[in-house]
Amino acid sequence: MPLGEFALIDRFFRNCGSRRDTRVGIGDDGAVLTPPAGHELVAVVDTLVEGVHFPPQSPARPIGHRALAVNLSDIAAMGATPAWALLAITLPRADEDWLGEFAAGFGELARAHDVQLVGGDTTSGPLTVTVQVLGVVPRGEALLRRGGQAGDVVYVTGTPGDAACGLALLQGRLRTPATARATELDTLRNRFLFPEPRLAAGVRLRGVASACIDVSDGLAGDLGKLATASGCGARVEITQLPLSESLLAVAGRAAAEHFALTGGDDYELCFTVPPALAPALGGLPCTAIGRLTTGRGVAVLRGDSVIEFSHSGFDHFAA
Ligand code: ADP
Ligand code: MG
C-alpha cells in the first residue's frame, strides 16, 4: 500500500530536530513558536528545483542537506541563529527509500544547528523543495548588505570555488588531470553536495562587520550586490583569493581563479570590516581579498592591471 500523505509526514518529518521554545510543531494548522525576549526574527526562504539547483537523479541525502544548508547560509549572513524550519516539498512519488535519505540529510544538519522542522506542505508533482527558516538575532544587531564604506576591507570565509568545481566534476564537465587524487575529487564534490553554512562566523561578525552577504551566485557577483547596497564599488586582488589545494590540484590556477570568482554554490560569507576592527577577526577562518572603493562595480586586479570582468552572477531570468 502506498504511503499516505499523513503517514509520510509522520514517519519522515516529525523527528527533524526539537526545541523547547516550540510550543506547537508539526500536526496542527500552524506552528506556534516563542522567540526569545529582546530578539528580532529573521525569515529566509529558498527553493531548489531539480535540474536547476541540482542535477536530475541526484541522490536524496545531499538534496535534503542542501535544501536546509542554503537557508542556514542566509541566516548566517544576517548574523542570526537559526531556530525553526518549514518544508514545502513537491514529489513525483512517495518513494520511501528516497524520503528516508532526504530526511536523514535534512535532519542531521537540523540537529547539528539546533533547528526544528515545525511544519510544511507536501504535494505531488516535479521534484521541488522549498525551505523556510526562522532565526533570531539580538535586537538591532543583524548584519546587512548595506553599511559598508569605502576603505573597508573585504573578506571571504573558507575557500571559494571548490563547490563550483565539484559540480563541474559531478556533471562530467571537467577534464581531470591524471595527477588528481581521489581524495581531492571527493573533497570538491562534497563541497557542492554538503555545504557547511558559516553560522559561527556570522555570529562572530556581529558588531564587527559593516556589511555581509553569503556567496551563492559567485563571489564577484555577490560582492557586487553588497557593494551596490552599500553605495560603493569594490576591488578584489586576484592573487589574494584563498584557493584550496584540492581546487588548484584538480583545476589548475587559471580555472581555479575563475571558479572562485564566478562559480556559485560556495555558501561562504563575504563581508566588510573597517580596518580598525580587523584585529577582532582573530582566529576566524577568513581571508582579506580587497577593499570597498568610492567607485561603482567590482574591479578584479592582478597587481596593477585590471582584469576584464563582466560576470555578474547567476540570474534565473537573464536572457
Ligand atoms: P493543512 O491541510 O492544514 O495544510 P497538512 O495536512 O498539509 O495541513 O499538514 C499537516 C501537518 O503536517 C501540518 O502541521 C503541516 O505543517 C505538516 N506538514 C505537512 N507537510 C510537511 C512537510 N513536508 N514537512 C514538515 N511538516 C509538514
Ligand atoms: Mg497542506
Percentage, residues of the chain above pLDDT 70: 96
Name the residue among 103, 105, 112 with its Cα closest to residue 200: 112
- 91-127 pLDDT tens trace: 999 999 999 999 999 999 999 999 999 999 999 999 9
**Residues found in the chain:** 319
Q: What is the pLDDT of residue 309?
A: 61
Residue 122, ligand 1, Cβ within 6 A: yes
**Architecture in CATH of 153-307:** Alpha-Beta Complex (3.90)
Q: Is the CB of 28 under 6 A from ligand 1?
A: yes
- CATH 3.30.1330.10, the chain: domain bounds: 5-138
Confidence band for 319, pLDDT divided at 50, 70 and 90? very low
Q: Which CATH architecture has domain 5-138?
A: 2-Layer Sandwich (3.30)
Residues 150-188 pLDDT 10s = 999 999 999 999 999 999 999 999 988 889 999 999 999
* Residue ranges in the chain assigned as alpha helix (H): 5-13, 60-77, 96-112, 162-170, 182-193, 199-204, 219-229, 245-251, 253-262
pLDDT band for position 3 (cuts 50, 70, 90): confident
pLDDT, average across residues 203-221: 97
The ligand placed nearest to the CA atom of residue 91 is: 1
CATH 3.90.650.10 positions along the chain are 153-307
Under DSSP, the state recorded for 177 is P
pTM: 0.94
Q: What is the mean pLDDT of the chain?
A: 95
What is the whole-number distance in angstroms between the Cα of residue 94 and the centre of ligand 1? Answer: 15
